[in-house]
Amino acid sequence: MELSKNDHLKVIIVGGVGGGASCAARLRRLDENAEIIMVERGPYVSYANCGLPYYVGGVIPRESSLLVADESVFRDLFAIDVRTHTEAISISPEEKTMELRNAATGEVTTESYDKLVLSPGATPIRPPLPGIDLPGIFKVRTVPDVRDIRNWLEGHDPYSSGMHTYTGYQTVVPARRAVVVGGGFIGLEMAENLIHLGLDVTLIQRGEHVMAPMDPEMALYVERHMEKHGVRLVLDDNVTGFRQSEDGSLEVLTGSGMVIPADVAVLGIGVRPENWLAEEAGLEIGERGGIRVDDQMRTSDPHIFAVGDAIEVKDYVTGQWAHIAMAGPANRQGRIAADVITGRDATFRGTQGTSIIGVFGGAAAFTGVSEKMLKRLAEEDYEKIYLYPNSHAGYYPGAKYLAMKILFRRSDGRLLGAQAVGQDGVDKRIDALAMAIQLGATIYDLEEAELCYAPQFGSAKSPVNFAGMVAADVLRGDMPLCHWDSEEAEFLLDVRDPRELAIEDVPGAVNIPLTQLRARLDELPRDRKIRVFCRSGQRAYYATRVLLQNGFKVRNLAGGMMSRENLVPE
């Protein structure tokens, strides 16, 4: 390993949040003699950017709570040379040097390195729309960003947030109307927190549904839940500009012609990798704009590593290049880079996008690939199931149902992806399924998974086990499956109780309650395929077993009426 003139390894880390901070701390634990410099252009290192929306809403009451570790912790505990308010402005890979600029003084210095780690993060997308620089329009990336939003909402301290340039009444009157642009994590979390503050909130999403990584029928649960709690959703529309109204407030203009009044607007459109430093240094940049790295976090220059939101990595399930900006992978990548720099043989397995969001007491989570992605890749070797188990034993008070979608290969049963929505137990089910995916497990493995059980925590047949059993029934031929979104015209058999039909029914379906099915088999056609359904799929499964063993051609409509309400347009 090449070392500096003082015979100690010298490492410069650009970026002091997430992956950069993780790399610095790990590096010190592995090499007590290394010279470690961590530069951060902002005022803080190692802050909890995932908690920023909750500081706006007052869930996290103190700004100091967002600061996981400050400069003194890194200096005193880890002997790391931390330089905040310092920006990396250029890299010379040939000389293994880089230029740093002190933001306070403007002084530019040159530092040499043995190894360089880039962790600049990702930049919030701020499109060049008319009026986007008007006061009252904010992004959410740093602690100062959310401090400005809070000041604006409270109608205080106009000079800290640009309000001294504003001519309206908002310098003294708290905001009451908010527009959030973007339906991803930041957008949904900001919408919830603004509702908690008592604002009227409109969320504008360019796509057809919120939470783009999820499939639309699963995202619909999130949308209904948000609307139930007062968020006005404007979907499949885009913001075309902003303007100031006569009373000094904002007007948000959309492509469909809407003009939405607002006292504050928050941009949560998404992020793009901050790659300019790497690009100017001649490092390889991927198609998604991220810095390309190998499985040891090396860039195209063997002495330069990159981690976190600025990079592209391989999707664990598809093998495709992906840009996934999340704290968990960033921290693991930082550790791996430190391991490799100090001579250990560590590798990053790739990412599967495991994520969760909490909204108004509920949660939506996912891992692996979505059906949208499989279709985009022209993948046909897959099947899907929907199930609606209780979060814990139904006889124990407080059980809530979970809506789950499981994707797996038809050919070998390998688990490909999972999505879940609910008010209890979403996280631990997706965590279990995420680990199963990373280990290459099949739905048959889910059948046999041994998971903890007590009635207040789960069921003897866990939702994870249940998913495996249902999927295995499909692949073994015990429950031939079909879906509401198929175009086939077949005989529809509804095995629900007649009282349920008064709430919802399917035009053209024949109703024979499950309890009467064996006595009324002669009413069913033997020369047609029968599609059978119930409320959630369980009674339809029992009916399927009866009909198959009596010689009928039958398939169970996945998820029953509970999936139909999200898959079939009214």
Residues that are catalytic: 534
Contacts of residue 81, Cβ cutoff 8 Å, sequence gap at least 6: 35, 36, 37, 38, 75
- Size of the chain, expressed as the number of residues it contains: 570
* Closest by Cα among 265, 268, 349, 276 to 310: 276
How buried is residue 105: exposed, middle or buried, by Cβ count under 10 Å (0-12/13-18/19+)? exposed
DSSP assignment string, 397-419: TT--B-EEEEEE-TTT-BEEEEE
Q: What is the Cα–Cα distance from 313 to 290, expressed in whole angstroms?
A: 9
Do the beta carbons of residue 315 and residue 351 sit within 8 Å? yes
Do the beta carbons of residue 563 and residue 386 sit within 8 Å? yes
Distance (Å) of CA 143 to CA 17, 45, 95, 549: 12, 10, 35, 64
Exposure of 467 in the CB half-sphere (CA atoms within 13 A): 35
Q: Where are the alpha helices (DSSP H) in 130-268?
A: 143-154, 185-196, 216-228
Contacts of residue 417, Cβ cutoff 8 Å, sequence gap at least 6: 317, 366, 367, 368, 369, 370, 371, 373, 406, 407, 437
Contacts of residue 371, Cβ cutoff 8 Å, sequence gap at least 6: 215, 382, 384, 405, 407, 417
* Closest by Cα among 334, 170, 374, 339 to 264: 170
Helix (H, G, I), strand (E, B) or coil at 379: coil
Q: What is the Cα–Cα distance from 321 to 332, expressed in whole angstroms?
A: 18
Tokens of 125: 């997308």
322: left (phi over 0), alpha (psi -120 to 50) or beta: beta
Do the beta carbons of residue 158 and residue 299 sit within 8 Å? no
Distance (Å) of CA 204 to CA 252, 310, 401: 10, 26, 29
Q: What is the Cα–Cα distance from 27 to 9, expressed in whole angstroms?
A: 11
Q: Where are the alpha helices (DSSP H) in 456-554?
A: 463-476, 498-501, 538-548
* Closest by Cα among 149, 53, 22, 123 to 357: 53
- Opening angle at CA 316, ends 310 and 320, nearest 5: 70
